[in-house]
């Protein structure tokens, strides 16, 4: 299905063609026709499916069809995103789609000056992409009002709830005086999410990308069973031996990221960091170096890397298995995007076998295990035997929450991990 056949304006179709978009992705095929007819939408879609265009294009087209001069301190559409990186990415995508139109889009998020954002808001915008906290700051200062809001999007809503934004969302909703067309996109659903959806959506059309598409089928998954203390060597060895040129490595702790950069440097491999302690500008610089090939490796934590759009990324490595099986899906969403081939490599120590099982259940596929001589963990066979025979292991469920990579989040994660390890002993 082509974009031209969806009655998008020639200016949009031209811009999409320049972005390399020819056909609609499945989530776009399902969501765009409903959104064009003005329905609220409740969509289950992961990163990498093309969800940004699925909600953005109908809004852009509607703004073009009902052109109005920009009103001071007002926005016609608000798109809420959990992280700065995702907000910046969404705004950049929309600016690409609207480059041949007069639609004005800005992103506002913490870590950058209020004053420069205030100036842009003062002259009015069509599409405002924001993190919840920063939007409230501007609303409280009367820099922006949502009294005339026409469109509202919650992107990666599960992550917003995980990060504790529920009160912020309620404050924002209190400032919305209209009944905007509202779309909620989320990779996972929980009771809290259903309550939120019930409050903010009116007779939503449900859109879901089928379970078998949870991870793109262009991704090759492989697991290396390995002792924790040999992981660093294994990473260097694989990068060198297989001559990987662009590798995104996920770790669970900022400390691991810092140590790993130093280790890789000793092996002559340039790596950059993307985690919560790094200033916004430093993260952007790291991403630029990684994208341009100046750095061969980027080491990231989950929250900091959320929503980063890196085209054609060939390799994603889970140096640590994520605490939540769902995060595996988010992480490897960076590779195998929009039809490109990708490799998802996971290092699994003894304590991470349980998460691996949960990941396999979630993605509905068994992952190929590759033992590399000299790196195999000891007593792994005995551990697997224990896991398969004890009901306590079999019946364990994937955890539902997922704190940010703030220090508090780290502490929570560590204590949860300790509990999990104790439970396995």
Name the one residue in this structure whose structure tokens are 């109908």. Answer: 58
In the complex, minimum distance from the CB of residue 33 to ligand AMP, in angstroms, rounded to a whole number: 15
Residue 158 as a binder of ligand AMP (CB under 6 A): the answer is no
- Which tokens sit at 119? 């100036």
DSSP H or E segment with residue 231: helix 231-241
User: Closer to ligand AMP at the Cβ: 51 or 221?
Assistant: 51
In the complex, minimum distance from the CB of residue 89 to ligand AMP, in angstroms, rounded to a whole number: 7
Using the rule CB under 6 A, give the single segment among 22-30, 237-245, 359-367, 368-376 that binds ligand AMP. 22-30
Classify residue 44 as exposed, middle or buried by CB count within 10 Å of its CB (0-12, 13-18, 19+).
buried
* 372, 234 Cβ separation under 8 angstroms: yes
Residue 346 as a binder of ligand AMP (CB under 6 A): the answer is no
**What gap in Å lies between CA 139 and CA 135, rounded to an integer?**
6
Using the rule CB under 6 A, give the single segment among 32-40, 48-56, 98-106, 176-184 that binds ligand AMP. 48-56
Residue 337 as a binder of ligand AMP (CB under 6 A): the answer is yes
Where b means 16+ CB within 10 Å and e means fewer, 387-425 reads beeeeebeebebeeebbbbeeebbebbeeebeebeeebe
Return the closest-CA partner of residue 290 out of 267, 255, 315, 266. 315
Residue 352 as a binder of ligand AMP (CB under 6 A): the answer is no
User: Closer to ligand AMP at the Cβ: 240 or 339?
Assistant: 339
User: Closer to ligand AMP at the Cβ: 121 or 153?
Assistant: 153
Residue 60 as a binder of ligand AMP (CB under 6 A): the answer is no
Residue 6 as a binder of ligand AMP (CB under 6 A): the answer is no
User: Closer to ligand AMP at the Cβ: 24 or 317?
Assistant: 24
Q: Which of 167, 311, 401, 408 is close enough to bind ligand AMP by CB under 6 A? A: 311
Residue 50 as a binder of ligand AMP (CB under 6 A): the answer is yes
Residue 49 as a binder of ligand AMP (CB under 6 A): the answer is yes
Helices 84-97 and 10-19 cross at an angle (nearest 10°) of 120
Four-CA torsion 393, 399, 402, 407, nearest 10 degrees: -40
* 327, 356 Cβ separation under 8 angstroms: no
User: Closer to ligand AMP at the Cβ: 22 or 373?
Assistant: 22
In the complex, minimum distance from the CB of residue 303 to ligand AMP, in angstroms, rounded to a whole number: 16
List residues binding ligand AMP (CB under 6 A): 20-21, 23-25, 28, 47-53, 309, 311, 337-338
């Amino acid at each position: 299905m082509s974009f031209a056949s969806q009655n998008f304006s020639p200016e949009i179709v031209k811009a999409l063609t320049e972005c390399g978009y020819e056909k609609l992705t499945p989530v776009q095929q399902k969501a765009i026709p409903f959104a064009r007819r003005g329905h609220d939408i409740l969509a289950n879609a992961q990163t990498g499916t093309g969800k940004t265009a699925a909600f953005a294009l109908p809004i852009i087209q509607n703004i073009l069809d009902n052109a109005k001069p920009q009103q001071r301190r007002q926005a016609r559409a608000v798109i809420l995103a959990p992280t700065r990186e995702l907000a910046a990415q969404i705004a950049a995508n929309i600016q690409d789609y609207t480059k041949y139109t007069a639609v004005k889009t800005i992103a506002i998020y913490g870590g950058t000056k209020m004053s420069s954002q205030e100036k842009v808001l003062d002259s009015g915008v069509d599409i405002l992409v924001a993190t919840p906290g920063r939007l409230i700051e501007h609303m409280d200062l009367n820099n922006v009002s949502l009294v005339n809001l026409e469109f509202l999007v919650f992107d990666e809503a599960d992550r917003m709830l995980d990060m504790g934004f529920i009160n912020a969302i309620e404050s924002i909703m209190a400032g919305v005086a209209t009944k905007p067309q509202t779309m909620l996109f989320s990779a996972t659903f929980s009771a809290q999410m259903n309550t939120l959806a019930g409050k903010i959506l009116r007779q939503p059309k449900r859109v879901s990308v089928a379970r078998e598409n949870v991870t793109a089928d262009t991704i090759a998954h492989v697991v290396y069973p390995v002792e924790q203390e040999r992981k660093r060597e294994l990473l260097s060895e694989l990068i060198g031996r297989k001559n990987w040129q662009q590798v995104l490595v996920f770790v669970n702790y900022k400390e691991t990221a810092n140590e790993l950069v130093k280790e890789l440097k000793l092996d002559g491999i340039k790596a950059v960091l993307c985690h919560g302690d790094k200033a916004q500008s430093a993260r952007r610089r790291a991403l630029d170096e990684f994208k341009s090939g100046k750095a061969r490796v980027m080491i990231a934590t989950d929250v900091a890397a959320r929503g980063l759009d890196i085209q054609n990324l060939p390799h994603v490595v889970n140096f640590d298995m994520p605490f939540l099986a769902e995060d595996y899906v988010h992480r490897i969403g960076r590779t195998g995007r929009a039809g490109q081939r990708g490799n998802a490599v996971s290092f699994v120590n003894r304590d991470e076998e349980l998460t691996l099982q949960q990941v396999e259940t979630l993605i509905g596929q068994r992952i190929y295990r590759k033992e590399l001589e000299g790196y195999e963990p000891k007593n792994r066979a005995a551990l697997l035997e224990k896991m398969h025979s004890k009901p306590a292991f079999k019946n364990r469920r994937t955890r539902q929450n997922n704190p940010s990579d703030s220090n508090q989040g780290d502490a929570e994660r560590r204590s949860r991990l300790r509990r999990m390890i104790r439970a396995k002993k």
